[in-house]
Structure formats: structure tokens, C-alpha cells
Chains A and B, each alone.
Chain A
Amino acid sequence: MDHFSLWLAAFLTLGIISFLYKDNPWYKLTEAIFIGISAGYWVVTLYWDNFYGKFWVNKGEEPTLWIGAFFGFLMLLRLIPKVGWLSRWPLAFIVGATSGLWLMNYFASNIMVQVQATIMPLFSTGYGTGFDADFATIVANFVIFFGTLTGLVYFFFSKEHKGAFGVGAKIGIFFLMITFGASFGYTVMSRMSLLIGRIDFLFGDWLGMIQ
């Protein structure tokens, strides 16, 4: 790493950090550079990886790719207002395909598999092993089972949260809150790690004050 590169990186790093003090010209400059560079970065990446790498290189061998190129072309027709409505076709295609794929993927992974995982013998370590679980496992099994059950109750739309149902939904919301709390804790952990990484760059790589 030569001096110029290091100082440039440090200059940009501090520019972003200066936003914490207030919105200022240094930040605005780095922000503008950031927007321009990142937009350009994605143009370049998508051109080489997607257009060139996927289509241009293989267009001879894979005739189906031309359909994609045709859709892409329709997309570009937006630039001509008169026929711009044709760009709805590729959109319709994308939305349709996404819907179909997600419908099955989520049905399988989020519903089937999770239901399968929640159905378990409460007093055993596995099906058919007899009542062999220790106290901690039994508690864990119960908590997972009732937590999932009541959490689901919370999501009912067509029933007022009243009476026994309301109690269920209330307990469900407690579980959701614990989940969010844990997520919050982990997010703190993650963000702090990244900050530490950056400080390591400033004081370690750049200024050489720490090992």
C-alpha cells in the first residue's frame, strides 16, 4: 500500500465519520463520490458479469439466452415513450417467475420444514427413544412448542384478539419480543465488530499505533 492510497482511504473514511458531527461539506463530498462510484461500480459489474459473461460469451451455444436478451431489449424501450409500455412484458415475466419460485421455496422451507421441526415428542430426545429426555430438554421442548404455537396465533388476521385467543396472541407477542431482543443484541454485536474493524484500519494499518 503506497502512501497516497492509504491517505485517500483514510480521507474518505474520516469524511463519512464526520457526518456524526453534522452534515458538512466534507461529508457531502464523500457522499457524492460514494454515489457516483457505487453506481458506476454496479454498471461495470453488471455489464461484465451479467451481460457479457452470461449472454455475450454463451449466446451461440445457448439459444434460450436470446429470449432474455429480447426481454432486456424490451426493457430498454422505456427510453422511447411511445412504446415504453412494452417494458411491462419483462416485468410481468420477472414478477411471475419470482412468484412461482418463491411460492414453492417458501412453502417447502418455511412451512413444511419448520412444522416438521416443531412436531417433536416432548419428553424424549427423539421419536421412538422412549421417555429419555432430561429436565432441561423437556423444558426446551415445551417452550419451543408453545412459543411457535402462540406466535402463530398472533398472526391471525380474521379473528379479534379476545378471550382465550387473545391470551394466546399475547403470549405469542412475548415470544416475538424475546426474538427481537435477541436480534437486537446480535445486531449490536455485529455493528460493534464492524466499527472495531474500521478503527483497526485507522489506528493499525494507517497510523501504525496498534499491532
Chain B
Amino acid sequence: MGLKQLRIFKYFSFIIFSLIIINSTFVIAQDGADSTALEVVDSLTLELQPQPATNITAKDTPNDEGGSIIVSWNLSADDYAGGKVTQYKVFRAMLTDGKVGEFEQVGENTAGAESFQDGNVDNDFQYVYKVQAINSFYDENAELKEFFSESKISKPVSSSPQWFKMYTINTLIGVVLLCFFIIFYINQASKGKKLFIRKLAGMEAVHEAVGRATEMGRKIFYVSGLGDMDNMQTIASMTILGRVSELAAEYDTYLDVPVCRSLVMVTAKEVVKGAYSKAGRPDSFQEDQVHYVTDDQFGYAAAVDGMFVREKPATIFFMGQFFAESLILAETGNSIGAIQIAGTAMPSQLPFFVAACDYTLIGEELFAASSYLSKEPKLLGSLKGQDIGKGVILVALIIGVILETFNIWNFSSLFSVID
């Protein structure tokens, strides 16, 4: 060790020695845990100890339900690629009557990180934070060595819940606008205003398909897919089932509804029963028309496939959320020569429905189908409202692209949904 280094060493040990004294004199609350690391102070420590993080700030996490505080800091001077800092540890203490309590570690973050979110705090209590810059590594004996330096303590902070997520204001405006259009046109329609709705090929064919089954004296199958009742596609499918079963009741054709979710079974029973009584044939309804098979995707597919092959229905409806089973079902239905009408919002299954079924409702058309089938003006009004929404989106797309292309305004930021 050269003379110069020796001098620096002496100089530093003096400072640290005085620090220890100051520490033990003024901060009695802090016990051994912190000072132990300072015991073995040699040149190696000095060399390996990183500079502390600076400018520690803590603030309540905005737009949340409370219980969370964001701690941020400026990087230690030794935090760069290849620098000494490998990690930051964040410590927290509660502040009661102006007195700082015991610090405990609440988390860590990797080198290069400038903040940490502490989600384990209670609302309306005061806290202070400090951050340790850590240099840890395995030495030649494969023992973990750790050196650290501590930052100053942050100003006290407390967390609280907010009543509104400020950054969702654009979403709020958008959704209110869209709902307004829909409700407005529903109103218009129920006042008797005539609205034009284009033909949906699949829905035009429903009467014909049900009629065909009646002529042939065969069953109709209605498959509502794999979704449970917490799925909008299934709910849309149930409303379509209502219209289809009404028709089936009128034509007096047997409608078979195998389902793979118990809740869907319960709902479908309500729907079919309601439709039969609406069509004036409550007695034709049989409880077992709607029956549960199994919750399992392929158990269900195997069973329904078997039913198709053995009972040879004249008409099959596939409406709702479908996955891989769509192909087995549609292909088998096609091979027995049934008329098939399908509708789903699952893009991955659409090509097979398009290929193997006579008519296919694509995406949004599935949601429009029940309105279309009902021919009820109110429901058709909602389609018009949707279209206005679509128009607004088209205009926004065009204006936005022009503005951004010519560097006038970052229009797309209006549609951001994250903070």
C-alpha cells in the first residue's frame, strides 16, 4: 500500500469514526443492524462501496385506490454500465408524532431503476423512506459479498385513494358519446322513424333453414359455443337463440340445444321456454331440449359430433364463442349435408366457418344478428347508433393521420388509455 493511499485511508477512517459517534449519539433509535456494516471499514470497503442515491422523494401513487406510495431517486454516481451498483434496496419507516420508527426493507429494484412502488402501506399514516445503493457479488470463495451506502431520508408522505382516474377522462368522453348515439337512435326508432338496415345474408336464411328442417322432418341443432355467461358472445348467442327457438316453435320443429356450461344451460332453458310461450306453444317445450354435456372442450366436441352423425339434423346453428372444436363440428355438419349458419367474433375460427358453413356472421355481425332477427325498431336503432360511432372513428382516423403525417399535432395521444 502506497503512502498516498494510506493517508486517504486514515482520512476516511477518521470521518467514518466521527460518523459512528454522531450516529450513536443522535440517533438512538437505530440499533446495530445499520452500524454492523460499518464496523469492518478498510480500504477494500471504500473501494467497493458505491456512491449513495440522491434526492429521495416519496409521493402518493396517483389515480389509485390508496395503499401505495411511489419512491423515486436519482441514480448513484456509480450506477452506469459496468459501475459498482448492482441493486437498490428501499427501506421504510413509520412516522409517529414526528418520531421516525424502525426502518424495514420493503423492496428492491435493479441497477438503473429510479423508482419503486411500495404497495404495502396503510392509508393516512405518515411514512419516510431511504434507499441503499448496493454492490453485491460472489468472491473467489463463492461467498456473497455485499457493500452499500445509504441515502438521506425522504420527506414524510402518506397515501390516499382518489375518486377519479384522471387519465381516463378521454375514455369517459368517448364512451358517453358512443352510448349517446346508440340511445338517441333507439329513441328515434321507437318514435317510429324508419331506419334502413342492409341485408345480412345469414339472417335472411334463418327462416328458410328452419323451414327446411320442418319439411324434412328432422331436428335443428343450436350450438352456443364454449363461452360461459360471463362472455358477451354467449349473451348475444342467447338472444339469437330466443329468436330461433320462437321460429322453431312456430314451425313446430324440434330444437336441440346441447350446451357445455351449466349456467348457459340454465339461461338457455329460460330463453327457449320464454320463446315457446311467446310463440303460443308453451306445451311444446320439453325440459331436456336444452341439455348439459360436459364443460370440457373436446368432451363436448366429441359428444356433439356423435349427435350430428347419428341424428343427421337438417339445420345447424353455430353462434357464440368458438375455439378449435368449430372445425370438427362444422366439418362433420357439412359432411352430413346440413344447412349451417354460423356466427362468431373469434377471428381464428372464421375461416373454417366461412369454408364449411352456408352462411357466416363475421365479428360485429354476430352482435347485430339478434336485433336484425327481431325486426324490433328499438333494436335496429341501436345498430344505427353503432354506425354513427363507426363514422366518428373513420373521421378521427383520417383527420388524425393527416395531422400526424404533416407533423401538426400528436392526435393519437388523445386515445391513450394508460397513464
Q: List chain A positions with a Cβ less than 8 A from chain B.
A: 16, 19, 23, 28, 31, 34-35, 37-39, 41-42, 46, 75, 78, 87-88, 91, 94-95, 97-99, 102-104, 106-109, 111-113, 115-124, 127-128, 130, 145, 148-149, 152-153, 155-161, 176, 179-181, 183-184, 186-187, 191
Q: How far is the CB of A77 from chain B (nearest CB, A)?
A: 11
Task: For B270, give the chain A residue with the smallest CB separation.
Answer: A88
Contact with A along B258-295 (1 / 0, CB 8 A): 00000100110010000000000000000000001111
Enumerate chain A residues within 8 angstroms of B298, measured Cβ to Cβ.
34, 38
Most buried by B among A42, A115, A124: A115
Q: Give Cα A103 to B387, complex, Å.
A: 17
Q: Are A155 and B390 in contact (CB under 8 A)?
A: yes
Structural contact, B303 and A157, CB atoms closer than 8 A: no
- The residues of B that contact A130 with a CB separation of less than 8 Å are 407
The answer to whether B310 and A41 touch across the interface, beta carbons within 8 angstroms, is no
Please determine whether B368 and A107 come into contact, CB atoms closer than 8 angstroms.
no
Residue in A88, A117, A148, A183 whose Cβ sees the most chain B Cβ within 10 Å: A183
Quick one: which of B170, B351, B407 contacts A180, CB cutoff 8 A? Answer: B351
A122 to B336, CA, bound (A): 50
B16 in the interface (beta carbon within 8 A): no
> B residues engaging A (CB < 8 A)?
170-171, 174-175, 178, 195-198, 200, 229-232, 235, 263, 266-267, 270, 292-296, 298-300, 302-303, 305-306, 309-310, 324, 327, 347-348, 350-352, 354, 362-365, 368, 383-384, 386-387, 390, 393-394, 396-398, 400-401, 404-405, 407, 410-417
Q: Which residues of A contact B310 (CB under 8 A)?
A: 23
B387 touches A157 (CB 8 A): yes
Q: Nearest Cβ distance between residue B296 and chain A, in whole angstroms?
A: 3
Q: Is A16 within 8 A of B412, CB to CB?
A: no
Instruction: State whether A116 touches B415 (Cβ < 8 A).
Output: yes
Given contacts A34-B302, A35-B293, A113-B417, contact A159 B198 (CB under 8 A): yes
Closest B-chain residue to A42, C-beta based? B295
Whether A31 contacts B351 by the Cβ 8 Å rule is no
Bound Cα distance from A156 to B383, whole angstroms: 9
Are B296 and A42 in contact (CB-based, < 8 A)? yes
- Select from chain A the residue with minimum beta-carbon distance to B269: A78
- Judged by DSSP, the binding face of B is helix
Given contacts A42-B294, A98-B235, 14 further A-B contacts (CB under 8 A): A34-B298, A35-B302, A39-B294, A41-B296, A94-B263, A95-B235, A107-B178, A116-B417, A119-B401, A152-B390, A152-B394, A157-B197, A157-B386, A187-B352
Given contacts A158-B195, A159-B198, A99 and B415 within 8 Å (CB-CB): no
Please give, as numbers and ranges, the residues of chain A lying within 8 Å of B383 by CB-CB distance. 157-158
Question: Which residue of A38, A91, A119 contacts B415 across the interface (Cβ within 8 Å)?
Answer: A119
Q: How far is the CB of A51 from chain B (nearest CB, A)?
A: 13
CB of A78, distance to nearest CB on chain B (Å): 6
In the complex, what residues of B have CB within 8 A of residue A155's CB?
Answer: 363-365, 390
| Complex-state Cα separation, A75 to B262, whole angstroms | 10
Q: How far is the CA of A119 from the CA of B396 in the complex (A)?
A: 8
Q: A91, B270: Cβ atoms under 8 Å?
A: yes
- Please list the 5 inter-chain residue pairs (A to B) with the smallest Cβ-Cβ separation, ordered nearest first: A38-B296, A38-B299, A119-B400, A116-B415, A42-B295
